[in-house]
């Protein structure tokens, strides 16, 4: 049952995020900064899920539960590379929404194609740098407390439990705040809007994005603020933010966004007409 559950969630995650990529690529109305960043987010959700879930699925098969040491290093690096990139991308998307709400007349000047490209590239580069530092700090330590990682994948808190050296520096670096400040600016700017209709439209503009951020950050806080925890709930939380969150993201954006829903309907009708 668990094999089927994770396999279905994984396939739906790939399918949902791929549909968003196709819809944005084919619908010219979605060729905007917001949806450019959404494409990056969809690609990240697909790859983050692919780093973790296939190995989890294989673990439910006979002889499929083990992971080699190089495989563990690679999984930890790529998970944090993609995960940190996603955190930085959330910050960029928060900045985009801030400009859309607070500086609507200058929005297209401030968020031009060149700046969007630079912001997205910066998110990927910072994510790579962050992951390189964390992976290096993690595997510079001596290990000798067994060979069983108490998690569904090789994450920093789970791997550090096997280390014999001092892990204080690792635990400090593992928790990095990369995106909450932008949301303070957004909320304060919204509250300064005088009309009720203006505030309603502003909240409607960023509610999907804030929902996605909450589903991503809250489980992360739960894990990385308690690096020494041995509670079984940690595994459930790890499943949520590595498996369920990437699956929920396309649903949240499509259910709250009329433009994306219309694009997906057009994409579906084109496919049906092409089949006929």
For residue 144, the model assigns a pLDDT of 78
For residue 162, the model assigns a pLDDT of 84
Q: What are the φ and ψ backbone dihedral angles of 225, each rounded to 5 degrees? A: -85, -10
Distances 136 to 70, 79, 132, 133, 261 between C-alpha atoms, Å? 13, 14, 6, 5, 43
Over the stretch 222-268, which tens digit does the pLDDT of each residue have? 666 665 556 666 667 777 778 888 888 888 777 667 778 787 777 77
For residue 231, the model assigns a pLDDT of 63
Contact 81, 127 (CB under 8 A): yes
| Residue 163: strand, helix, or coil | strand
Contact 86, 48 (CB under 8 A): yes
| Residues listed for the chain | 276
Domains (ranges, CATH) in the chain?
A: 2-275 (1.20.1070.10)
Alpha-carbon span 264 to 259, nearest angstrom: 9
Contact 48, 246 (CB under 8 A): yes
DSSP string covering 221-248? HHHHT-TT---THHHHHHHIIIIIHHHH
pTM reported for the whole predicted model: 0.81
- b/e code 117-153 from CB counts within 10 Å (16+ = b): eebbeebbebbbebbeebbebbeebeeeeeeebebbb
Q: Which H/E stretch holds residue 150?
A: none
For residue 150, the model assigns a pLDDT of 73
In the structure encoding, which two tokens stand for residue 73, read together? 């290093």
| Ramachandran quadrant class, 155 (left: phi over 0; alpha: psi -120 to 50; beta: rest) | beta
For residue 224, the model assigns a pLDDT of 66
- Helices and strands, counts by H and E, the chain: 12, 0
CB neighbours of residue 114 within 10 Å: 8
Residue whose entry in the numeric block shows the structure tokens 């399918």: 15
For residue 178, the model assigns a pLDDT of 43
Instruction: Write out residues in the chain with pLDDT < 70, as ranges.
Output: 171-206, 209, 220-235, 255-256, 270-276
For residue 87, the model assigns a pLDDT of 83
Over the stretch 59-83, which tens digit does the pLDDT of each residue have? 888 877 788 888 889 999 999 899 8
Distances 160 to 90, 112, 178, 237, 240 between C-alpha atoms, Å? 27, 43, 22, 18, 21
């Amino acid at each position: 049952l668990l094999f089927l559950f994770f396999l279905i969630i994984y396939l739906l995650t790939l399918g949902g995020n791929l549909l968003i990529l196709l819809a944005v690529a084919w619908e010219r109305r979605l060729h905007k900064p917001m949806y450019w960043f959404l494409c990056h987010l969809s690609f990240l959700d697909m790859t983050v899920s692919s780093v973790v879930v296939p190995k989890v699925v294989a673990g439910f098969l006979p002889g499929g539960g083990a992971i080699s040491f190089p495989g563990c290093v690679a999984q930890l690096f790529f998970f944090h590379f993609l995960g940190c990139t996603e955190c930085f991308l959330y910050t960029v998307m928060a900045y985009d929404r801030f400009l859309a709400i607070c500086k609507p007349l200058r929005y297209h000047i401030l968020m031009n194609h060149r700046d969007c490209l630079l912001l997205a590239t910066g998110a990927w580069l910072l994510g790579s740098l962050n992951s390189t530092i964390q992976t290096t700090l993690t595997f510079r330590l001596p290990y000798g407390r067994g060979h069983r990682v108490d998690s569904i994948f090789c994450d920093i808190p789970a791997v550090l439990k096997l280390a014999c050296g001092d892990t204080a520096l690792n635990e400090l670096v593992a928790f990095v705040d990369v995106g909450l400040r932008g949301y303070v600016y957004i909320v304060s700017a919204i509250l300064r809007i005088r009309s009720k209709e203006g505030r309603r439209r502003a909240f409607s503009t960023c509610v999907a994005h804030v929902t996605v951020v909450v589903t991503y950050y809250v489980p992360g806080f739960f894990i990385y603020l308690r690096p020494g925890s041995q509670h079984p709930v940690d595994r459930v939380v790890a499943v949520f933010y590595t498996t369920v969150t990437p699956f929920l993201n396309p649903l949240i954006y499509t259910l709250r966004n009329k433009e994306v829903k219309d694009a997906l309907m057009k994409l579906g009708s084109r496919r049906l007409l092409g089949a006929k």
